[in-house]
C-alpha cells in the first residue's frame, strides 16, 4: 500500500512509556504509510492500547519521538493540531449521553473547526447515512444498541475529517451479533483508503482487511508482517504461542 519514497503518515521511533514502575512501552518503532491499515494484536497488557493512545497524546510518551503528518508531538499546541488530524474510536464508545446522536457528531466540527450549524449538520447526516444510522439521528445514545453507538462514534470521529483513524478494541464491548455491523463499517472505511491503526482481537478482520499485522508483547513489537505471513508462518515463538492460544477453536 505504501507509496515508495513518501514519508509515512505516522512515525514512532523508540517510544517509551512508563506507568509508575511498569514499563508499558519499551522502545517501540512503528511506521504507518498513508492509506495503510495496520492491525495490532497481542495479549492484554502488551502495550497495544497504550501505543495508540500515545499517538494522539491521550498518554504522554516518556521517550522517543512520535511524528504525525510531519508534526512532532511535543507540547499542547502540537497536541491540538494532531488531535484534529487523528480520529479515535474507543472500546466503550464514549458518546456524550446528554446529546442527541446528531449533536454528538456536529459538536467538534462546530467548536473546533468553526463550521456553521448547517455545514456541520450536512456532514453529520452524510456520515450517519454512511454508517447506516441516519434514521436514529435524533435519538440519545442510551436509546441505541452497542453496535449502533459504536457506529455513531465512528461517524463522530470522521466528522473531523481526520487523516488517520485509531481504533482501540472497537468491538470488544459489543454483543457478538453486533460485531459485524461495526467491522463492516471499518472495512468500508479501509476500502476507501483511510489510514487506520486497529487494536483488535478479531483475527478475521485482521486477515481480511489488514495490510500489515503487528504483534506486541511485553511493551515491544515482537513481529510484523502481512496477514499471510503472520497467520501462516510466523517466525517468532511468542507469536506462535499467542496464535495457538487464540486460534485453537
The reply on whether position 4 binds another protein by CB under 8 A is: no
Q: Which of 48, 61, 156, 220 binds another protein (CB under 8 A)?
A: 156
Residue 19: count of CB within 10 angstroms of its CB:
11
The reply on whether position 127 binds another protein by CB under 8 A is: no
Nearer to another protein, 200 or 239 (CB): 200
Residue 205: count of CB within 10 angstroms of its CB:
25
d(CA 34, CA 237) in angstroms, rounded, equals: 31
- Distance in Å, CB of 60 to another protein, minimum: 12
- Distance in Å, CB of 156 to another protein, minimum: 7
The residues, ordered by sequence, that sit 6+ positions from 73 with a Cβ below 8 Å of its Cβ are 57, 61, 65, 66, 67, 79, 82
Counting residues that bind another protein (by CB under 8 A) gives: 28
In terms of Cβ atoms closer than 10 Å to its own Cβ (0-12, 13-18, 19+), residue 214 is buried
d(CA 42, CA 103) in angstroms, rounded, equals: 35
Q: Which of 4, 6, 75, 142 binds another protein (CB under 8 A)?
A: 142
Q: Say which DSSP state 238 is in.
A: H
Q: Which of 95, 179, 190, 209 binds another protein (CB under 8 A)?
A: 95
**Left, alpha or beta for 75 (phi > 0: left; psi -120 to 50: alpha)?**
beta
Q: Which of 71, 107, 119, 134 binds another protein (CB under 8 A)?
A: 107
**β-pairing, 164-168 with 10-19?**
unpaired
The reply on whether position 92 binds another protein by CB under 8 A is: yes
Q: x/- binding map, residues 159-178, to another protein, per CB under 8 A?
A: -x------------------
The residues, ordered by sequence, that sit 6+ positions from 95 with a Cβ below 8 Å of its Cβ are 101, 104, 141, 149, 152, 153, 156
The reply on whether position 234 binds another protein by CB under 8 A is: no
Residues 20-59 binding another protein (CB under 8 A) are 56, 58
The reply on whether position 135 binds another protein by CB under 8 A is: no
Stretch that binds another protein, among 27-35, 40-48, 92-100, 114-122 (CB under 8 A): 92-100
The reply on whether position 183 binds another protein by CB under 8 A is: no
Stretch that binds another protein, among 20-28, 35-43, 88-96, 234-242 (CB under 8 A): 88-96
The reply on whether position 112 binds another protein by CB under 8 A is: yes
Q: CA–CA distance from 194 to each of 121, 124, 128 (Å)? A: 22, 18, 17
**Which parts of 35-175 fold into alpha helices (H)?**
48-55, 76-85, 101-111, 117-130, 146-158
Residues that bind another protein (CB under 8 A): 56, 58, 80, 83-84, 86-88, 90, 92, 94-100, 107-108, 111-112, 140, 142-143, 153, 156-157, 160
Amino acid at each position: 500500500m505504501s507509496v515508495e519514497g513518501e514519508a509515512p503518515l505516522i512515525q514512532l521511533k523508540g517510544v517509551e512509556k512508563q506507568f509508575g514502575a511498569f514499563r508499558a512501552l519499551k522502545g517501540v518503532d512503528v511506521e504507518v504509510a498513508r492509506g495503510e491499515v495496520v492491525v495490532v494484536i497481542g495479549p492484554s497488557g502488551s502495550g497495544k492500547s497504550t501505543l495508540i493512545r500515545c499517538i494522539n497524546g491521550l498518554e504522554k510518551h516518556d521517550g522517543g519521538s512520535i511524528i504525525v503528518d510531519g508534526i512532532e508531538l511535543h507540547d499542547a499546541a502540537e497536541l491540538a493540531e494532531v488531535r484534529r488530524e487523528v480520529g479515535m474510536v474507543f472500546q466503550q464508545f464514549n458518546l456524550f449521553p446528554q446529546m442527541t446522536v446528531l449533536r454528538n457528531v456536529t459538536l467538534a466540527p462546530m467548536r473546533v473547526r468553526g463550521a456553521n450549524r448547517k455545514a456541520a449538520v450536512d456532514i453529520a447526516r452524510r456520515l450517519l447515512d454512511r454508517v447506516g444510522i441516519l434514521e436514529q439521528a435524533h435519538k440519545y445514545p442510551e436509546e441505541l444498541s452497542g453496535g449502533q453507538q459504536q457506529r455513531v462514534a465512528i461517524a463522530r470521529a470522521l466528522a473531523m475529517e481526520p487523516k488517520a483513524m485509531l481504533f482501540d478494541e472497537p468491538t470488544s464491548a459489543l454483543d457478538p451479533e453486533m460485531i459485524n455491523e461495526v467491522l463492516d463499517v471499518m472495512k468500508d472505511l479501509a476500502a476507501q483508503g483511510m489510514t487506520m491503526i486497529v487494536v483488535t482481537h478479531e483475527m478475521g478482520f485482521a486477515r481480511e482487511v489488514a495490510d500489515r499485522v503487528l504483534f506486541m508483547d511485553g511493551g515491544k513489537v515482537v513481529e510484523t508482517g502481512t496477514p499471510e505471513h503472520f497467520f501462516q508462518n510466523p517466525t517468532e515463538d511468542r507469536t506462535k504461542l499467542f496464535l495457538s492460544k487464540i486460534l485453537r477453536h
